C-alpha cells in the first residue's frame, strides 16, 4: 500500500469560499498586545495568517481547513472564529 504525505492528502481537499463573509476576525490591538498574532502565524498549518511589516495580521480565510489550532493559542478576545456558513469551507476528500 502506497503511503501518501500530509501535503498530498491535503491537496485533494476542496474549498468553497464564502465570498461575502470571513469566518475569522482578528482584533489587531489585542493580537499585538498579547502576542496572539505571532502565535497564530506560527501555528496555522494552512498559512492563513501573515504578519505584515507594520505588525498587522492579515487573514486569507479561504485556505482555512478548520483544525482549530489558532483558537488554542489565541488570548481571549483576540481572535473570533466560527465555522464557515453552511455549504462553504473545506470539504475533506480523505477523512
Where do contacts with ligand SF4 occur on this chain (CB under 6 A)? 24, 43-46, 48, 64-70
Residue 79 parent element (H or E): strand 79-81
Distance in Å, CB of 67 to ligand SF4, minimum: 4
Q: With respect to ligand SF4, which residue has the nearer C-beta, 32 or 43?
A: 43
Q: With respect to ligand SF4, which residue has the nearer C-beta, 24 or 31?
A: 24
Distance in Å, CB of 76 to ligand SF4, minimum: 16
Q: With respect to ligand SF4, which residue has the nearer C-beta, 16 or 67?
A: 67
Q: What count of other Cβ atoms lies within 10 Å of the Cβ of residue 72?
A: 10
Distance in Å, CB of 37 to ligand SF4, minimum: 13
Q: Say which residue the cell 493559542 belongs to.
A: 73
Distances (CA, A) of 63 to 2, 6, 37, 39, 79: 27, 16, 18, 18, 17
93: phi then psi, degrees, rounded to nearest 5: -95, -20
Amino acid at each position: 500500500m502506497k503511503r501518501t504525505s500530509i501535503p498530498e492528502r491535503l491537496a485533494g481537499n476542496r474549498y468553497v469560499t464564502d465570498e461575502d463573509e470571513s469566518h475569522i476576525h482578528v482584533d489587531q490591538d489585542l493580537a499585538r498586545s498579547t502576542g496572539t498574532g505571532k502565535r497564530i502565524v506560527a501555528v496555522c498549518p494552512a498559512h492563513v495568517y501573515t504578519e505584515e511589516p507594520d505588525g498587522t495580521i492579515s487573514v486569507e480565510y479561504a485556505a482555512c481547513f478548520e483544525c482549530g489550532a489558532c483558537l488554542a493559542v489565541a488570548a481571549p478576545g483576540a481572535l473570533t472564529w466560527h465555522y464557515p456558513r453552511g455549504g462553504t469551507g473545506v470539504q475533506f476528500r480523505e477523512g
